Amino acid sequence: MKLIKDYKLNIDDFPKAQTLTMKKCARYYLYYHLKFEPNEPEYMALPQIEDMFSGYGTLMRALVEDLLHFGLTVEAKGIS
């Protein structure tokens, strides 16, 4: 990703890098859901994350995949 940015290339020309970046983004926000308790200020509820990702199918798919990976099947089914 850094090379794409440094050489001012178009990210759309690199779909694999784009997908990996989106997955990394989904994991970043999911971390704040899994790591912290709801009473902690860093905590992010799944509906909040889902609202941020709405309209971005790749991000939503990455979120569902990660939820399934962590065994959170019920939460993954709730993502629309």
**Where along the chain do its domains lie?**
17-78
Under the banding of pLDDT at 50, 70 and 90, the label for residue 11 is confident
Contact of 33 with 49, CB cutoff 8 Å: yes
Cα separation, 80 vs 57, whole angstroms: 10
For the stretch 20-68, pLDDT in tens is 999 999 999 999 999 999 999 999 999 999 999 999 998 999 999 999 9
Under the banding of pLDDT at 50, 70 and 90, the label for residue 9 is confident
Tokens 């990455």 correspond to what residue?
62
CA distances from 40 to 36, 45, 51, 69 (A): 6, 11, 20, 24
Contact of 25 with 63, CB cutoff 8 Å: no
